[in-house]
A and B are shown apart, each in its own frame.
Chain A
Amino acid sequence: MKLLTCPINGPRPLEEFAYGGEIREMPDPQTCSDSAWADYVFHRDGAPGPKREWWYHVPSGTWLVAERDTASDVVSRTYLLGEA
């Protein structure tokens, strides 16, 4: 069982967390093209490598950012959004 470090609660077992997907920049819906929007909504980059991901510590309701290499499954850093 993997450990993940919650910025508020410290290292906790993975079963306390929910995965929230990769953090992706939303294009400006007012100005972006239809295809750019569709790409944002439907396409995910599944290629293994370093990602910034949303994780949620369920018992405390904490959203956090994890920098994780999905090829090696090594989490290099976790922090609250905006505290990068």
Chain B
Amino acid sequence: MTLRLPPQPGEWIDRATPVNFTFEGQAYTGYAGDSVTSALWGAGERVLGRSFKYHRPRGLMSLANHDINVMLEDGTAINMRGDVLPLARGMELRAVNTLGGLKGDKYAVLEWMAPLLPAGFYYKAFHKPKALFPFWENVIRRMAGLGVMNPQAPRGEAIKQHRHCDVLVIGAGPAGLSAALTAAKKGVRVILADENARIGGTLGYDHAGQPTALETLARLQSEVASHPNIELLPAHYAAGWYTDHLVPLVGPSGMIKVRAGKVVVAMGAFEQPAVFRNNDLPGVMLGSASQRLIHRYAVKPFQRAVVLAGNDQAQRVVMDLHQAGVEVVAYVDLRPDADCTVIRQLGIPIYLGNCVQEALGKHAVEGVRISRWDGQGHPDPDTSMTIACDGVAVSVGWAPAAALLYQSGCKMRFDDAAQQFVPERLAPGMFAAGRVNGIYGLEAALEDGERAAREALGLATGVARAAETGSSHPWPIVPHTANKNFLDFDEDLQLKDFETAAQESFDNIELMKRFTTVGMGPSQGKHSNMNAIRVLARLRGEPIPKVGSTTARPFFHPVPLGHLAGRTFHPERRTPMHDWHAAHGATFATVGVWQRPAYYGTDKAKAVEAEVKAVRHAVGMIDVSTLGKFEVHGPQAGELLERFYTGHFVNQRVGTTRYALLLDEAGVMLDDGIVARLSNDCYYVTASTSNAATVYREMTRRLQTWGLEATIVNLTGSYGGLNLAGPHSQSLLKLLTDLDLAALANGGVAEGMVAGVQARVINVRFVAELAYEIHAPAQDIARIWLALEEAGRSVGLKPFGTDTQRLLRLEMGHFIIGQDTDGLTNPLEAGLQWVLANDKPFYLGQRSLKLLAEKPVSKRLVGFMLEAPPATLPDECCLVLRAGKIVGRLTSIAQSPTLGQVIGLAYVASEDAAPGSRITIRHQNGRDVVATVVPTPFIGVAP
């Protein structure tokens, strides 16, 4: 049976393009422009989904983008809503959340168990006996949730874009269109977004039998489309509002992050369901849903309809149904005194002051039972009568789509006359127009849009006109002894669940939400919160403003995870020699943002041992381009360094280097490096790889606060460096430079040509007794590297990586800040009194160290050797014990190939710091290991 109407003016479907698809294994045909839901409904299907908890058959409810009755999966994507999913050729769709298919869903048995599953049942049931809980947990977990994820699904590419505009208008109904045009005509850049595939809002479907709305729509559409200042984004919903007007618009292909100067929220209102028994039966739908079916998709919603009215819009629905050829068999108005002149002329039976008590039928509406009532939830059973029909259109009230207003900090108030929340005080830069303000009439909405835009542009000040009355009924809720009168369709919550919650004292709005889970389903309360608030207010005997509403958080609408996921960009920095390392088999390690060779080869132990051997007996070379490198210029450059680091630098001779230790104000060690004085007013400073950015940042800040005459130039990226270490390093380097290397002994620095490149050569002793760091501009450093590599072959030069470097420095007895120190370590514990120039008036941390120096130092960092190394070495961070008490920890440990001993650094009690003391280390296996404290450096003190 097909329910397609003859062509309707303004319809969205393209009748020339039929589209074949399958649903639950059965073939269907719709048209291009259809949504899946409209195509199925048009094909005469009624059961399109199953409810979340009781697996009740569901049809369509709102057909307005937030209808969760119809949720689909296609084997790749899950939980696609049928009312927004555009029909496409060859789709193979299934309903989510069924066992054995939609028609014969075996989980439907749960409905018979409903009395055992009241709201909050999972807080109470199945916990006893305890032994059975894992069984129940397994059952519940299998049944809970929606859709089955396919881990093999191909990764989709969701594009992210950024846009800027002066005014962002969200919602392209009459108010939004009017606001956008008003703003655009004043010359500002406007983005107009709407979640629907086509703009127009109510103009596109709420015709009330009059085609004039379409003329207005056509005029506005062409004005908007032709205006150069307006960017139109249909099929994009605003997912949330973030500080300073950042609004992500989510569309079919990705996300557009809009930074707006001002935001006009013209998102309209959600039509609200009425609460009566079986109000979820397929065939019961919102009045606006039936209008959308007719005007957008040319689908006849029913053959014989009952219209349940509670507001003035219901009669517009009657007129549209009537014009579409639907026989309206009854107009049932909750109000006793509605003016029904128009529909009376159509000859439709009118029942004023009546309610629908229940919908009848098993899988679809077959009739309704109505009765007189007092308008307050008390039907008079003596007057009840049954009317046969195949559909119920419900038009009783609205709730504003105010989520973005709430998120921006707007204060809302409940307007008693309009029975709707409306903005009371908007956040700066936020404006509201149309139905969110409670303004429903077409002319009034157009005017309100213009007003909002003028206010946004600062051309007018004032307030929105008063909200209109007559759009929302204060109590569209009918109790029923047999229940199944649903307030929340997402979570299958019945009226009695709220009464239960209140009885159990969960009668605060936030508590009730959590106990009943109202508004926590996929539509986030868009169709349930208003009625829930009404019920709670009545249960508490308080007015609605006292009950309040829950917080609306992003997202306004479920956003596919693929739209949120990043594109797995992983920025990394590479040194100028990176390609050489890769070509020579380096295994890379990530050090901060840098890629550095850890060692060369694939067998770590063997590679490190060979590299250590080369450095100790011949020569090795490591890429140190990642070091922080700064030049400090100016007459007070030395003064800056003297305050920044612990040592003396003003009196430092040109051509020398000094150790630089950086403390924070509490005296904790932050970083170390060297300071080389290149000339009277120029110092060259290095910092460790991982702290380079922080040291530069801190130095520039101190330079400002101290107001010194100096300049800091960050050369970290523009200079590269390498370290040539080992007994042959000097003779090898001599082959490539005329610099007097012998004069550089004991930490000298010189500038000159190395391998034809202008470079800085520094004598350092971090990894070996004899070693040179060579720094040169990043574009040149590789030439030095290659020249050394070539010249060094005959003397056994090997490149080495960071793993080897760590071992080499340990053999040298050097600690690494961050490895052998932590966020509390001070230089007194690390044995660095010699670098504290306390004769200076000031350096960072000095005052705190003065305080610390007055107290005994409880632990000290020392070198140790294991007496009888176990097969598995103790891990770093193993505890050091003294008489059963924790006194420190092990910070570095390694088998030294040079010494044939296991060496390391550890914090020990001060009493045990002298060489020769024996210390106890608690191995991770629980046994104690004994070590001897030895002087550092380790090499040169062979046992």
Contacts and interface: CB of A to CB of B under 8 A. Distances in A.
* A associates with B: yes
Interface of A: 1-3, 18, 20, 29-30, 32, 34, 37-38, 40-42, 54, 56, 61, 63, 73, 81-82
B127 interface: no
B244 A81 contact: no
25 contacts: A1-B243, A1-B244, A1-B246, A3-B259, A18-B697, A29-B846, A29-B847, A30-B841, A37-B847, A37-B848, A37-B851, A38-B851, A40-B665, A41-B848, A54-B701, A56-B697, A56-B701, A61-B696, A61-B700, A61-B714, A63-B701, A63-B704, A73-B243, A81-B705, A82-B707
Interface string B828-847: 00000000000001100011
B787 interface: no
A42 B705 contact: no
Contacts of A20: 701
Given A2-B244, A3-B243, A82-B707, 17 more contacts: A1-B242, A1-B244, A20-B701, A29-B846, A30-B841, A37-B847, A38-B851, A41-B665, A41-B848, A54-B701, A56-B697, A61-B696, A61-B714, A63-B701, A73-B243, A81-B704, A82-B704
Contacts of B700: 61, 63
- What size tier do the contact residues of chain B reach? 20 to 34
Contacts of B246: 1
Contacts of B848: 37, 41
B412 interface: no
Contacts of B243: 1-3, 73
Nearest to A32: B847
A61 B701 CA distance: 10
A2 B354 CA distance: 52
A18 B846 CA distance: 26
B697 A61 contact: yes
Main DSSP-derived SS at the A contact region: mixed
Contact of B666 (A18, A29, A41, A81): A41
Interface string B690-713: 000000110011001101000000
B244 A34 contact: no
A4 to B, nearest CB: 9
Contact of A42 (B244, B666, B704, B846): B666
A69 to B, nearest CB: 14
Nearest to A62: B700
B165 to A, nearest CB: 14
Q: Which of B243, B847, B848 has the most CB of A within 10 A?
A: B847
Nearest to B698: A20
Contacts of B847: 29, 32, 37
A73 B290 CA distance: 46
A61 B700 CA distance: 8
Contacts of A41: 665-666, 848
Contacts of B696: 61
Across the A-B interface, the 4 shortest Cβ-Cβ residue pairs: A29-B847, A3-B244, A2-B243, A1-B246
Nearest to B246: A1
Contacts of A30: 841
Interface in B231-288: 242-244, 246, 259
A37 B619 CA distance: 50
Nearest to B248: A1
Contacts of A73: 243
A34 B851 contact: yes
A59 B665 CA distance: 26
Nearest to B847: A29
A41 B841 CA distance: 18
A61 B696 CA distance: 9
A73 B408 CA distance: 13
Nearest to B693: A58
Contacts of B714: 61
Name the residue among A18, A41, A42, A73 with the largest chain B CB count within 10 angstroms: A41
Nearest to B664: A41
A37 B665 CA distance: 10
A23 to B, nearest CB: 9
Contacts of A40: 665
Interface in B656-674: 665-666
Nearest to B703: A63
A81 B851 CA distance: 31
A81 B701 CA distance: 10
A42 B851 CA distance: 14
B272 to A, nearest CB: 33
Nearest to A72: B409
Contacts of B704: 63, 81-82
A18 B704 CA distance: 17
Contacts of A54: 701
Contacts of B841: 30
A34 B242 CA distance: 45
Contacts of B697: 18, 56, 61
A56 to B, nearest CB: 6
B239 to A, nearest CB: 13
A40 B696 CA distance: 23
B858 to A, nearest CB: 19
B256 to A, nearest CB: 14
B260 to A, nearest CB: 11
A38 B847 CA distance: 9
A74 to B, nearest CB: 9
B791 to A, nearest CB: 39
Contacts of A61: 696-697, 700, 714
A41 B842 CA distance: 15
A65 B244 CA distance: 19
Nearest to B667: A41
Nearest to B694: A18
A41 B663 CA distance: 13
B707 to A, nearest CB: 8
Contacts of B666: 41-42
**Central interface residue in A29, A38, A81, by most chain B CB within 10 Å:** A29
Nearest to A54: B701
A37 B845 CA distance: 11
